[in-house]
Amino acid sequence: MTEESTDPAPSTGPDEATDVRRRTATVRGIELGRARPEIIVPLVGEDADALQAQAEAATATRARIVEWRLDRFRPDLEDAQEHREAVLDALPALRALLGPDRALLVTFRTTAEGGARPLADRDLGVLLESLITGRRAGTQSAVDMVDIETARTARVVERVIAAAHRHGTVVVGSFHDMEGTPSEQELVETLRAQRRLGADVPKIAVTPHGPRDVLTLLSASVAVAEDLSGPHIAISMGALGATSRVAAETFGSAATFASVGEGSAPGQLGAQDVAGMLELLRP
Cite the active site residues.
176, 203
What is the C-alpha to C-alpha distance for residues 220 and 218, in angstroms, rounded to an integer? Answer: 5
What is the C-alpha to C-alpha distance for residues 53 and 5, in angstroms, rounded to an integer? Answer: 37
What is the C-alpha to C-alpha distance for residues 86 and 90, in angstroms, rounded to an integer? Answer: 6
| Strand spans (E) along 88-180 | 103-107, 145-149, 170-176
Closest CA to 237 of 256, 252, 251: 256
What is the C-alpha to C-alpha distance for residues 164 and 145, in angstroms, rounded to an integer? Answer: 8
Report how far Cα 140 is from the mean position of its chain's Cα atoms: 20
* Cα dihedral value 164, 74, 42, 227, nearest 10: -30
